[in-house]
Structure 1
Amino acid sequence: MCYLARRMKRLILLWLLLGYYPLLAQPAVPAGRTVVTYLNSKLLARNPGGENPRRRVSVYLPPGYDANPQRRYPVLYYLHGYAWSDSLVFNQDGLPALLDQAIAAGQIRPVIVVTPNEKTLFGGSMYTNSATNGPWADFTAQELIRFIDGQFRTLAQPGSRGLAGHSMGGNGTLRLSMRYPGTWAAAYALSPAFVGPHPEYMASAAGLQAALRAPNQGALAGNFSGQITVALARAFSAEPQARPLGAALPSSLGPDSLTRRDAVLPRWVAATPTYLLPAHAAGLRQLRALAFDWGGQDEFRHIPPTCRSFSILLSTFGIRHSAQEYEGTHGSGIMGRNGRIYQHLLPFFNQHLDFAPQQ
């Protein structure tokens, strides 16, 4: 028995060595450097919603950044999703290592990547200006860019800036591209949420009931549907004097059921990229390229149909774009060597950004 056990161990060891040898033999990939910095926002200071104006920003500096002090780089601004953060994108999702691999493989030339932390008291800023939360859209599209251009060796020109994001960040990518024309050369939204009106998030009975019954923020701890409902309300139907949440909700709570508030729902509808497009089509036309994609099996049921409708509307307005539905869920096809970022998003920006100063 001991002889057989020892033989089995040797065979397993040999199999492991043979299986992993090709990986061990691969040359090391040059590594970039991550910098965590903080922006003390003047725009977000004294917001009535109690949001912290000191915002963490994670920055990826590509291999060679320190060794070539005269070289400047384009910048990709990557916006995180709801309930996520810059730290989770860089550390849990592993974005820096993926960027190292992509640059080494020629998927994209060396680029600076910036992710601001826009996780708020209720999970996310929605990258929009709010009378309660503060002007997060202006913070992202103006103050953050000035800060990054002042702190790092960027190519400080619109042709060298890209904008991308996932989920809530994909929504922000579409909306900011419209509202701040001439700021970025190209935009790519991954699984963008809240692109158009849909009952899944606008009429969520569970979320609305939890929000309406909450006496304070703490009462919603751990309640995803309740927190995201409040986050949307504080972004799209903000009312700083409304207690306790600083927002008007699209329903009121009756004795037996929810009652729609027709004065609030139109504000949520008007904030979607679908309804912003007719007035802001010119902003998207200034982009060199626009793309977005989504998983056909997304757990958030509103995303596939609203993305399809948005693509049809873009075509109606004659706006060139790429829209693709793929086999996947909300996050299954994003990261990794086979994911959308590596295979599609980074080559997209490699094609459409300027990697040298424009005369």
Structure 2
Amino acid sequence: MKYLLLALLLLAGLPYAFAQTAPTGRVVTTYLDSRLLRGNAGGENPRRRVSVYLPPGYAANPAKRYPVLYYLHGFSWNDSLIFHADGMARLLDAAIAAGQIRPLLVVVPNESTLYMGSFYANSATNGPWADFTARELVSFIDQQYRTLARPGSRGLAGHSMGGNGVLRLALLYPGTWAAAYALSPGLVAPHAEWMADRPSQAVAARATTRAEVLKDFNAVRLLSVARAFSPAPGQGPFGAALLRYPGPDSLARRDAVLRQWATATPLALLPTHLAALRQLRGLAFDWGAQDQLRHIPVTCRELSTALTAFGVAHTAEEYQGDHGNRVMGPDGRMYQKLLPFFNHYLDFAP
């Protein structure tokens, strides 16, 4: 439980205040009954909550259409917390008033699962979350709201697990987005940290019920990643192959699972999906030098090096900060960097 509380504090960031005189938008909550997620082997609920920020003037200008920024939340987080704990609506109101970005819709789907995160990946156990996000959700939003329903007016952004999802969906769904920005993306490339947390590895390997796993935050994380990237429907209590399993005297390692996880990383997907990134107008990602997840700075640098080697234009920036302390707020990356990025690259005109 203490690990979960720490993660929540890191992701929530610090409170901040913006000028109260700015015109305010509205956050509406809707539900998408997913055809794609229906009947998934992992027991995930196909009825998904979606929070949508409607900018100031949306109701008063019924003929006006807007670009859309799809924002993917991090592990253990959800759409409601993005707006009510992180204060995303206030940040957007202030950014629009200050000219950091022109009015747009911001869509945050709830992809928290039974084990705290879908990783925005298609999985034989969890269901096709990548298809759900890039295809079903986009179609749903275009039908329900006054969007500029074209790739040039769609942006994709996210933090941590959501940053991983940004890179994955940008690679796998060409022609869907104009630009993509990943904040502190996790699991970008293989790293020794995957095999760390030995006590948590043991908890995950020996657990037989969800309740046992939920007592250990890192065990939940391991199991969530396994259900996303090494699914095995019907195998064991969780429908996933874990990195370690109980041997005669100690935990044994599954190298096949390591290969599955490595193959699913954005770095591994890059060489065969270069065309998808080259058609983006803009690609950016950043990370804090003091990130508590030590694999993030190293693997983000690796990804940037690979993108440069393949001739893919991008911006990669390391800043002084940790996993969450400089993401939201008036001095955070969202306000200072990400929103101006999309203001530049998205089409706002009809």
Range of TM-score over shorter length: over 0.9
> 1:342 is paired with a residue of what secondary structure?
helix
Alignment of 1:75-154 (within 5 A): 75-154=68-147
Give the aligned residue type for 1:48.
A
Identity of aligned residues (%): 64
The aligned residue for residue 33 of structure 2 is 40
- TM-superposition CA deviations, 1:119-165 (whole Å, max 9, x none): 00001000000000000000000000000000000000000000000
Distance 1:341 1:261 in 2: 39
Segment drifting more, 91-100 vs 195-204: 195-204
Segment drifting more, 97-106 vs 194-203: 194-203
Q: Does 1:199 align with 2:160?
A: no
The aligned residue for residue 166 of structure 2 is 173
Distance 1:157 1:338 in 2: 31
- TM-superposition CA deviations, 1:259-305 (whole Å, max 9, x none): 21122210000000011101111111110000000000000010000
Report the CA distance shift for 1:202/1:185 in structure 2 as closer, same or farther (over 3 A): farther
The aligned residue for residue 52 of structure 1 is 45
Distance 2:274 2:201 in 1: 33
> Which among 238, 249, 252 is matched to residue 259 of structure 1?
252
How far 1:257 sits from its partner (Å)? 2.5
Distance 1:221 1:97 in 2: 32
> 2:115 is paired with a residue of what secondary structure?
coil
The aligned residue for residue 217 of structure 1 is 210
How far 1:96 sits from its partner (Å)? 0.3
The aligned residue for residue 271 of structure 1 is 264
Q: Does 1:186 align with 2:179?
A: yes
The aligned residue for residue 310 of structure 1 is 303
Distance 2:278 2:264 in 1: 20
Q: Does 1:292 align with 2:285?
A: yes
Distance 1:206 1:130 in 2: 26
> 1:263 is paired with a residue of what secondary structure?
helix
The aligned residue for residue 331 of structure 1 is 324
| Over 4 Å off, 4+ runs | none
State whether residues 202 and 265 of structure 1, in contact with CA within 8 Å, keep that contact through their aligned partners in structure 2. no
TM, length-normalised to structure 2: 0.94
Give the aligned residue type for 2:277.
L
Larger Rg: 1
Where relative contact order (Cα < 8 A, 6+ residues apart) is larger, the structure is: 2
Alignment of 1:147-166 (within 5 A): 147-166=140-159
Distance 1:123 1:100 in 2: 29
TM, length-normalised to structure 1: 0.91
State whether residues 206 and 245 of structure 2, in contact with CA within 8 Å, keep that contact through their aligned partners in structure 1. no
How far 1:205 sits from its partner (Å)? 1.8
> 2:50 is paired with a residue of what secondary structure?
strand
